[in-house]
Structure 1
């Protein structure tokens, strides 16, 4: 429901205690204005309880959803328990770039910081996903101008939705 028909970055986070996670989220916060204007979503899921999760979100000044999986359902379902940290019992920190429908386009294992995507990695992945899912990516593509002139606009943003629907989904 959060994703809609847009690309999405999904971060499975170790949690508030992890300096690597905080640094990764600062990179995402810096990229957030671009992500927003590109009709892309970000979601972070952590095993933190709601209080710690909110402290993380507020502490890095993020404006996207942070979801708590304190019961570790995702960790168990995906078998991604970070067994080297029995004290915090986090998930292995993965970052996914998803196509609509939660289809995995790319996956990064962030156990070590350099395994996490940087801004350029995300721009490349999101460019590839957007080019794949947006039929009006290249307005010079043969037939698009003619379709527009025939008032066949479902292949153009906002793809048959009203602006009210688009902006309500992005709020």
Structure 2
């Protein structure tokens, strides 16, 4: 992994086609939410498939926790669709046959002489594609468990949302006075409830460009 892809850095805003062959920009897929990116070897890898199945089971919690998911693979379009369908993953799969991500991040799995793939990584991003955590999954146990993702996202949310603890007297006072600036998504610089619901549903074509950023 490139040395500059560390906690606090901005992850590259790649544009790649998704499983419908529609070009997607990572920041558009993210909106103003968190994001978990799975860089996968591809359809053939049983380790990646097992991790994918765990993420599928975890996904309902990610959705209500304002967290997007995206998978990036070097498979072709047809194989990418098979991969997504056979794991029942509801999120976007981006395919990168030209190995743009593999080359840019310097994650070619050089020990695999049969496939030109990426070393698997799982990356947790805060708002604005800010890197919160990078997991190297070359060995399966290097990948985050659902419990680890939960803990990482909890800490990320605690740092991100100013209304994390609404029992604080000063927050209660602000709300009672009609000052919602510190409350998500009601604040002046936040997003509409409509956009929030669209992001939770993954309806990127409807919400892209609406979020105001934070």
Q: TM-score, normalised by structure 1?
A: 0.96
Show the counterpart of 2:60: 33
Show the counterpart of 2:112: 85
1:72-91, CA deviations, whole angstroms, 9 ceiling, x for partnerless residues? 00111111100111321100
Q: 1:166 aligns with which of 183, 193, 196?
A: 196
1:49-81, CA deviations, whole angstroms, 9 ceiling, x for partnerless residues? 111111111111110111011110011111110
In structure 2, distance between residues paired with 1:150 and 1:119: 40
After the TM superposition, list the runs of 4 or more consecutive aligned residues in structure 1 that deviate by more than 6 angstroms. none
Aligned pairs, number: 171
Show the counterpart of 1:116: 143
| 2:179 matches 1:149 | no
Q: 2:155 aligns with which of 106, 128, 133?
A: 128
Gaps of 5+ in 2: 1-27, 204-214
- Deviation (angstroms), 1:164: 1.5
Gaps of 5+ in 1: none
**How is 1:59-74 mapped onto 2 (pairs within 5 angstroms)?**
59-74=86-101
Q: 1:138 aligns with which of 125, 140, 165?
A: 165
- Deviation (angstroms), 1:147: 1.1
In structure 1, distance between residues paired with 2:53 and 2:199: 25
1:27-54, CA deviations, whole angstroms, 9 ceiling, x for partnerless residues? 0011011111111111110111111111
Q: TM-score, normalised by structure 2?
A: 0.77
- For the aligned residue pairs, the C-alpha RMSD in angstroms reads 1.1
In structure 1, distance between residues paired with 2:192 and 2:143: 37
In structure 1, distance between residues paired with 2:169 and 2:130: 28
